[in-house]
Copies of this chain bind each other. A is one copy, B any other.
């Protein structure tokens, strides 16, 4: 039989899971190994068999009070009127926890005991049998079930085992997982990357998740794209592990190696699953061990790890993966459903009034930050007709609901002050999270209109009136009650290399010296300013090289200049300062926050207003360079 023909390609997720499950059954995955460890070290481990009490607790009849042990019969009907006197051989002093000798059957509290000079005691209350005595086995009786098999041990369980004389416990072994990053282009974290080299960080993320799920993880050094080297690493890893995870570099060539290597070293069970992202995942068996070949893009790798490795780790330990929190949310914009795949969409969530609004993050599978910022995951199942704006969807939460509820959602133009705000708000008690999406000023206005955001930053210049922001609000947010609050004035200008080697002063310089320009996206405030200045210079934008190359943030413009892929771009001074570049001021613009009236008194929003008018905060903003806070916090306009 041709080994290559065994696998199934591009199965629907449900099918792939079924086939994989069958393969795991064949190799007997889940027939668990166990180990006996001291109870002291068993926190978080899972019992491999039921634990029964080895002796009782208490192991003797113990006084539950400080007082005297007596025979209750001796006290008869003692009362204040007719107290009972016990001689020293008729009672014994006991502290809480002391043994009550066999000849006694009750304890009287010290407060009710009057000791007399001759050593006898006087008591004025009768007693009931066994009062204030913790009898043998009151808490735990020898042979009683303490914990069933398959129970994850908590601190109190450790206590119960020790209390019942159980000092060792048999627990399920921890799965050993080896992560093999492959790809000649990979370099270790910390080294500065050259073009074509990729910092190998995927394996660290994967190891982190695997550890959180309870695995013992080793991460190998990146293995070059050489089938022999990969095979060698794989076979060695399989020997030492219960589960192996390979992670291709971003290159498809590498992925192909993985599949060839897995097919020749073992058996590929599933090759490709109809999911997005994560389609190229490979599920294989090598030496009767599960091997999961993850795609190269970080988001694809994490998602497929969660889909195919998480359950294995828990199952190995005799546990079930905890099912995370989920919630209903309203989709802020339509999502079409790609044909024939289960689609997994990262979303950010915002509590806007009483409604939870989900906004797709819309970034590619290469974006680690999109997952850092994501609040939840939306699954659009295969065969779905997509999701309409305003439709209610079920979101799997990626952070506690509490944290989502404490999140202030900003969508609009980016400014570095927002980063300072994010950090400042997070220092509050309780912390407020600023979830900030950078989609440009117009994108922010549209998000405000759809009710997706609590506020949005905007710096849109109306060419006809020369006025900032207000004309756009009147046009696109007519009828909405809102305030326009100034955040800052900031210098816009040319971002150029250190020392301005090409001596850029104007767009005319750029055209004449054939310099490479880098532009902002249409709708960005900076783009409007750029176009206005170009027009005022009487230039044809078609003459500016790179005019069509659009970037989404000031910092991206600065990065392009720093990396040399452009000579000059328009942006704010702070972006140039941050990267140590030079800056040629062209204009001062006003950057405002649009805040719907409904959120002005929201606690999170008030905290943000307080923060931006805090002296210390303002001083920190000044150090960014190019800002004036002369009207910061002022209401510029209200409708």
Contact of A43 among B192, B198, B211, B555 (CB under 8 A): B211
In the docked arrangement, what's the CA distance between A565 and B133, Å?
14
The answer to whether A160 touches B253 (Cβ under 8 A) is: no
Contact of A159 among B144, B202, B322, B426 (CB under 8 A): B202
The answer to whether A548 touches B158 (Cβ under 8 A) is: no
Task: Provide the residues of chain B in CB contact with A150, threshold 8 Å.
Answer: 426-427, 431
Task: Provide the residues of chain B in CB contact with A625, threshold 8 Å.
Answer: none
**Secondary structure type dominating chain A contacts:** loop
Chain B residue nearest to A206 (CB atoms) is B155
Binary interface profile of A, 185-207, with partner B (CB < 8 Å = 1, else 0)?
10001101101111101101111
- Interface stretch of the complex, out of A244-252, A327-335, A454-462: A244-252
Chain B residue nearest to A315 (CB atoms) is B429
Task: Provide the residues of chain B in CB contact with A206, threshold 8 Å.
Answer: 155
The answer to whether B66 touches A253 (Cβ under 8 A) is: yes
How many monomers of this chain does the complex have?
Answer: 2
Task: Provide the residues of chain B in CB contact with A623, threshold 8 Å.
Answer: none
Q: Do A205 and B156 contact each other (CB < 8 Å), given the known contacts A134-B364, A196-B98, A198-B97?
A: yes
- A1 CB to nearest B CB, Å: 31
| A:281-304 near B, CB below 8 Å | 296, 298, 302
- Interface stretch of the complex, out of A161-169, A231-239, A499-507: A161-169
In the docked arrangement, what's the CA distance between A56 and B143, Å?
62
Q: Do A364 and B253 contact each other (CB < 8 Å), given the known contacts A158-B208, A159-B298?
A: no
In the docked arrangement, what's the CA distance between A562 and B369, Å?
65
The answer to whether B39 touches A189 (Cβ under 8 A) is: yes
| A:91-118 near B, CB below 8 Å | 95-99, 102, 105
- A64 CB to nearest B CB, Å: 7
Task: Provide the residues of chain B in CB contact with A57, threshold 8 Å.
Answer: 199, 368
The answer to whether B252 touches A66 (Cβ under 8 A) is: yes
The answer to whether B39 touches A296 (Cβ under 8 A) is: no
Q: Does A60 contact B (CB under 8 A)?
A: yes
Chain B residue nearest to A250 (CB atoms) is B97
Task: Provide the residues of chain B in CB contact with A167, threshold 8 Å.
Answer: 189-190
| A:21-56 near B, CB below 8 Å | 39-40, 43, 50, 52, 55-56
In the docked arrangement, what's the CA distance between A555 and B578, Å?
74
- A509 CB to nearest B CB, Å: 21
User: What 6 pairs across the A-B complex have the smallest Cβ distances?
Assistant: A155-B208, A97-B250, A162-B201, A167-B190, A148-B426, A141-B555
| A:133-151 near B, CB below 8 Å | 134-151
Contact of A129 among B61, B207, B549 (CB under 8 A): B549
Chain B residue nearest to A210 (CB atoms) is B155
Binary interface profile of A, 626-638, with partner B (CB < 8 Å = 1, else 0)?
0000000000000
Q: Does A354 contact B (CB under 8 A)?
A: no
The answer to whether A160 touches B372 (Cβ under 8 A) is: yes
